[in-house]
Structure 1
């Protein structure tokens, strides 16, 4: 017999160890099994599980477990990303805290050895946390982006692209982090609102005939100005186009140019152009052939390209000096306070500079074309489909991809420089030396490029490099292209697009057939989670409190396509209770002798209740299967919830009690066998979402008898049930019973009829078939609705509350149990209170200023409150209407 309660704390580690030891996570070796593969979006090796990881990995696990049970060779390939800047920062911080030498004191080789040492000790944290969540990855195939095999793939891709002239070296603007002194990707840039100012500076015309006023939030960059731009359609400045101003402080003439970037409606309509320190200005500079003057060094200090008195100053010190000097020159026209967004490094926290440097670039424009075509032709499907527009828009306007980083931890760029600056790009140093020997006619000393590659470069190869490419491995042949990628929409550009480009270019096939973008997890009020707000929910703490199954079910149930998830502990607690409900229903079947019958055939059951539950089970299996096939995770879990809680636990178990306790042995035996069969199907259908409790119940109910094979549930066969099991006649009969009891319970609840009161249920108007149903099921209706009897009447007596079910008119005579007048007054009062609340919230939501200025979560909270009040009011009005009909 089952214990009274399921204990996740003891069961989860035991069950996970058993799964892993059994080899169940590895794909089937049966060559006839259809392959199904997912590669994990590799978390940072420095990371720990956050709620977004929990959602993303739960959905991947649901799909993997589902397809494994369907007999496919299901591979979920795990691994971690070396996370260049994040990992380097962690180790540097540890060195600083320990009072050790800095990385620059240590030198590259010793520092990188220290990082590998850290990785060996602490790098497995997140993979162990994924195990706690129940992730059924094939850990025997776990990869790391700096594994030798993956590193070889990275070198081959870089060298091949370079020889195809798709990788090149160029001087362009990048996001520069002055703290780490490296270029960083857009995803590592965080826009922060800060207090700032627009400084209005007057630039004198070179001929002394006047001035032109420009406004800037970054006064220090004026030292690198190479033009002033105005709009050709702005009548204030057309006469100045082609003339020049003398740049104050620097005392250099710069032209006044016409460019559409200058907006006549903004500020003075004239803008300073600093092509080396602003991305928009860089484009203006390209269009107008302006020189690029870099005034910063790698630490964002003023360099030798500025006047001597500024050289060596920090950028913010230079800002103060520029403003003071403009004021002294009488050229400061205004300081206008403002709040504006300023880019910061998400790791370093310092202000990011657009910075002109030599970097390595990928010709993304060329690589993007086949990747665009693949989605257009449906070879890769994006779900939800609305993300296609975002994908196409970005890919069709893609810029060159900067892939070099000025770090030490990562894939070092396989490029070597000769003494005359010639570059030799090869997979090995030996090959580079050979190329140099051929070039020079003799050996020359070579220096390898100091930079490493952007981590998105190596993770862009993830779907095929993890399967052994460039070697022609059995895994690559069997599992590539992968089937589904589950990922967050925030990395559609940084990761998904790059995997598409590189995968197609190097394998000739798309890297995945389908991409499912999961939602963002927010707090219960709809606010984005952040440490500063104090609303972050730790998934491991939630697992400790409620069990992994409850968290998994909650995330899956709320993961509707394109919807943000509002996560609350109340929802998780509710789904833990769902697990408890199933546990108790299983105990009930054990206590009532429910057992699998040898040769049981659900198509042959005779009793109407059993025919009904067999049909409902077939419907549930079909619903869940179709939903999971289409990544309709919420549809699958909501279907499971309704079927298990409402259909099986509430109705079937309740309606089966008279049969299980009755004298008809044949009906009892059939009901026991049917209940056991349905329970087995339930455990299979629910397993992908709630693996732990279902596996435990599967193991603990082995004593329910034959014919279930004594294997683990994780590898059990997925139920495929035909529509022929659905019996319309049984549906109609049991449906009428359920609807009559449900509506009768609603009437009792709405009118506060005491639980102990037992009025009769009157059948006033019904078809002959319905009358037969009420006669046959009178005992079970009386028991479940708590009425004294089911009686047929020709009219509704005074004091009876009428209600209609499936066209039949029924009534509950309740006047002897409640004060009808007092109930009418109570209902009227509650309706008025809801009406007042509805009017108040409607007034708020009808105010455009409130909707525009209030926080998104506050507006949403009010909308939900309105919907709840309207629903409650409608229910109360229905109850009052019934009371008034009772006379």
Structure 2
């Protein structure tokens, strides 16, 4: 694919024409594979996306940052490996296949487990590669030759071994605890799969009668409890009050006779009850509330004794004590299909018993009215897949002793063996790890790694890597059945950094060379679900950290800062942006906006701006090509005598150093800004302008030959430094500009190795500052950009003296100052322009109408001052800042900043006029 005889570049830059072509070339030639056995390894693994997934904007950010790093390290000579793969996504994948069956009036339970799993595999082979194709469109330079899947046979072996080893070490056990239960999917789900939504609800208040004549300090024969979930009173096991609450000292240790069920339950003292909230009394349902579960345990109620009142579909079932009235049995927890549920019936019966405490409010006319409940907005957990309210449900599940496994990772981060970037996340990490709860790893699904545990008829458990081994443990003739559950997908993905490299084969070459990995990049939202668990498993199996550094990036939000969601209709499709602006533009936006974990606000205009940046580079390359500037054959900078050429060599070195410093700190924004500013401003706007006169003369002069050599080298360095951010356009230009021995993706990072004249670079910097400030002053005063202005400098610095003497033509062409006179300026209105320590006086008589210009500037200044005062007053008003929509407050602040800038600009312009 190397272009031996470069053809002229097309006049327009078309990303679509080059992206697919170059990606296929890179992948076909195996350029993403590690191929430098003598070099230092550099390894990253991608957070494996769900096999059911499609590229969303979060994937685009996550994978762009990883690709920037891996391409950068590849250019720096590392033996770079980016491990790629997908997660089997138990719940999501099973749902996809079940929906396909439903569309055919079929269902999973019409098949054996084995037949259904065969259908899932068939779906995976046919439709499971969508996201990997889309990652290619983004330009991700992953080693596709070793693509992984968490249900591959070698990975399954690793998963099963992990379960068995942890069980034998006493770190996996079976227990009865509360889980997040999805009644639609009929499985436990992780916290990450729970979405809290605030929905309209109610707050009911009930009287619970005290037993045995007990009374409160106020003489009441009952306690008042409040709840948003009245149906759960069918499984209440206590009422809690704060141990220091003086209102209830006389009833602590007494009993309540629960309405409807007649169950006798204790009044307990527990700090969970807040005396400031409601009556200070809290109903305790340990089998259906996470807080209540802990309160129940503290009160001495064993999990096995906690009452469960729901079946897997969230329909009421009989509790162990048999006290739920028959009329409730079989009812759904909520109103469903027009039929009242357990909630509605509980409220109805409590009202009939005279135990419902009404909520007193007023109607629109001010008259008091009584409602059954207080309307409230209630934060409610929903399953992100099933879409129904999650039920805390007491059930037998498999758990990992996460507290024990968390010890070594916590110590490693404290010692600095693992660096978390940004460090602000360390406090959150320590807090979670030091208060970690048991990890529920079992799921009630068919698709996934089936738990390697077998039961005999008495319930005895045999954990083994195979059915044959389990049978040997149980003895000949003992009938065994395997656990029906599968493992949580986070359990298998926790092995990703080493199972993808050949573990559990201890001598696997890739494992020996590439573990620990060098870096992990992930969203902060999976710090505990994935990142921390990889740490646990890495230390458990290999007694090593999984990676040296962990970089946590933020979320991509909508333009107004809101979280993106389909329900809000503010989701941005990255593939649509690629179609419109090209992958390079989207990638550069992601890198330029990523600032040490802060959330990114989506801004399509910025993406468009980076497409314009690519076009700017394309046109600069066309200019170079048209002037005989082509590919350089040197890594080191060519010899240079001309000031402009020495200057650009120094600027290349400075840009490379800035990128290196930024990447060392994982400051993607700083790295992107360094190459952007250098390419756009230093090279395109200034250097190409400075060298134009060279090509106006003899094309074979020493100056022209030197300039072609330096310009070609500098453009090559731009392509190399920009390549990690914009791989497609840089690879295309790399080959278009001349014959190459190798692709840009495996080129070498800049190493100018040049001595640069300080005098030469100071002169060019001085001309640039003079030109920039002169142009700015012209714009402020409305002077035509092309008008030549006389300029005076009374006491020039040494830099000014040398530069004026040697580069008067450049000053005239760029700053449009001619003549430049060393000496005092004539009296009269004039403006001042500063360059370095030099002050230029530029007379304005006859150039502009000074009185009219002063009047215009003063009027504009007064208008901006008035607006600024108004905005300052509004923003100083707490009522506005606290109650107005966030967008309105943000706009007011932006408007104030604009007017403050205008005040400074206009004041400076007036000062120029004297």
Name the TM tier (shorter chain). Answer: over 0.9
What does 1:371-450 align with in structure 2 at a 5 Å threshold?
Answer: 371-437=409-475, 442-450=476-484
Name the SS for the 1:195 alignment partner. Answer: strand
Output the CA distance in 1 between the equivalents of 2:349 and 2:783: 85
| Structure 2 counterpart of 1:669, from 677, 683, 705 | 705
**Which one of 40, 46, 49 corresponds to residue 52 of structure 2?**
46
Show the 5 A alignment for 1:565-584. 565-584=600-619
Indicate how the Cα distance of structure 1 residues 503 and 188 shifts in structure 2: closer, same or farther if over 3 A, else same. same
Aligned equivalent of 2:32? 25
Of 244, 254, 260, which residue of structure 1 is paired with 2:265? 254
Contact 1:600–1:673 at 8 Å: present in 2 too? no
Q: Take 2:822 and 2:243, find their aligned partners in 1: how far apart are those partners?
A: 90
SS of 1:281's equivalent in the other structure is: helix
Q: Deviations over 1:211-244 (max 9, x none)?
A: 1100000000011111111111111111111111
**1: CA distance, partners of 2:635 / 2:428:** 53
Shift of 1:600: 9.0
Shift of 1:727: 3.4
Q: Whole-Å Cα distance in 2 between the matches of residues 147 and 862 of structure 1?
A: 55
Question: What does residue 236 of structure 1 align with?
Answer: 247
Contact 2:830 2:912 in 1 (8 A): no
For 1:702 and 1:639, locate their aligned partners in 2 and report how far apart those are by CA, in whole Å: 26
Q: Which moved more, 1:78-87 or 1:288-297?
A: 288-297
The answer for the alignment partner of 1:186 in structure 2 is 191
- Displacement of 1:598 in angstroms is 6.9
Structure 2 gap ranges (5+): 1-7, 216-220, 335-340, 359-372
Change (3 A) 1:167 1:769: closer
The CA deviation string for residues 603-656 of structure 1, in whole angstroms up to 9 with x for no partner, is 631112211111111111111122223211111110001111111111111111
Number of the residue aligned with 2:902 = 872
Distance (Å, rounded) in 1 between the aligned partners of 2:638 and 2:665: 28
Looking at structure 2, the residues matched to 874 and 296 of structure 1 have their Cα atoms a distance apart, in angstroms, of: 68
1:205 aligned onto 2:210 = yes
- CA offsets, 1:77-124, max 9 Å, x none? 11000111111111111211222x211122322221111111111100
Structure 2 partner of 1:227: 238
Asked whether the 8 Å contact 1:230–1:262 carries over to 2, the reply is yes
Correspondence for 2:313: 299
CA contact (8 A) 1:622 1:721 kept: no
Distance (Å, rounded) in 1 between the aligned partners of 2:721 and 2:452: 50
Q: SS of the residue aligned with 1:529?
A: coil
Q: String of CA shifts for 1:147-205, please: whole Å, max 9, x gaps.
A: 11111000000000000010000000000000011100001011011111111000111
1:470 match: 504
**Secondary structure in 2 aligned to 1:112?**
helix
- Report SS of the residue matched to 2:782: coil
Q: How far did residue 855 of structure 1 move?
A: 4.4
1:454 matched residue in structure 2: 488
1:841 maps to 871
CA deviations 1:705-758 (Å, max 9, x no partner) are xxxx42110011111335x64432222211111111111000111111123422
Query: Aligned equivalents of 1:159 and 1:599: distance in 2?
Result: 57
- Name the counterpart of 2:688: 653
| 1:721 match | 752
Q: Is the 8 A contact 1:737 1:774 kept in 2?
A: no
Q: 1:837 to 1:6 in 2, by over 3 A?
A: same
Deviation at 1:845, TM superposition (A): 2.5
SS in 1 for 2:286: coil
- 1:691 aligns to 2:698 (yes or no): no
Give 5+ residue unaligned stretches, structure 1: 704-708
Q: Where does residue 77 of structure 2 map in the other structure?
A: 71
Is the Cα–Cα contact under 8 Å of residues 37 and 482 in structure 1 kept in the other structure? yes
Instruction: Kindly provide the CA deviation profile for residues 125-152 of structure 1, in whole angstroms up to 9, marking residues without a partner as x.
Output: 0000000000000000100011111110
Matched position secondary structure for 1:48: coil
Tell me the C-alpha RMSD between the 2 structures: 1.6
Q: 1:473 to 1:601 in 2, by over 3 A?
A: closer
Separation of aligned partners in 2, 1:587 and 1:806: 34
Provide TM-score, normalisation by structure 1.
0.96
Paired residues in the alignment total: 872
Separation in structure 2 between the aligned mates of residue 617 and residue 50 of structure 1, nearest angstrom = 36
> Is 2:348 the partner of 1:310?
no
Match of 2:227 in 1: 216
Q: Which residue pairs with 2:518 in the alignment?
A: 483
Distance in 2 of aligned mates of 1:253 and 1:337: 30
CA distance in 1: counterparts of 2:47 and 2:631, whole angstroms: 42
Match of 1:635 in 2: 670
Deviation at 1:857, TM superposition (A): 4.5
How far the C-alpha of 1:563 sits from its partner, in A, is: 1.8
CA distance in 2, matches of 1:70, 1:434: 55
Q: 2:769 aligns with which of 739, 749, 760?
A: 739
